[in-house]
Structure 1
């Protein structure tokens, strides 16, 4: 059942206020989990192909252990390919996608890391 126009406006206003006032909560609960990097996808694909080849080889040679190992390698390759990149979780990036020096030093001045992140969030929202 769709929302009425008034309910939709109220929901949009609540969402805007949440983004504006509670950036910590939004970043914690939001769906912005780390995305797989190109490197992990490429490596995972190669591992999966090697595992598939081992699986086929195990079937051809009628050796179940080779097939089972091949399946395990395929599974590991898929997990590597879909795993989020560690650089995304460790170092926050600026608008160009590179970690800036100001965010990598948590003791810069008297402001905390979270204060700087909140300031950046507010500035980004004001620019929109």
Structure 2
């Protein structure tokens, strides 16, 4: 049963208060939910691959081309679903709080090229 508008508003207020009071706890809860969602999606993808491969084999043995085609489509779809879930997990790791977004981690902002350029600049500044 979906929440009413008033209940949803109260829930949002409670959630915002939790984020304001204890951001570390809120972040740990958010990552725990994301992990369980990714785990569930990965298991579902693996089951889809196994069922798809079984359909392909049944189709080949019984010479039912349509069963093999459906199995192949199921394998491809299950793999795509699992990959999408894993990529979604990486997107959820980005900081949602304004403080964290305002101060990016220097290791994440630049790649190897930026670090090498910084080292080169420091060497020239020292000389």
Q: Same fold by TM (over 0.5)?
A: no
Greater helix content: 2
TM-score, scaled to structure 1? 0.44
Q: Name which structure has the greater RCO, CA cutoff 8 Å, separation 6+.
A: 1
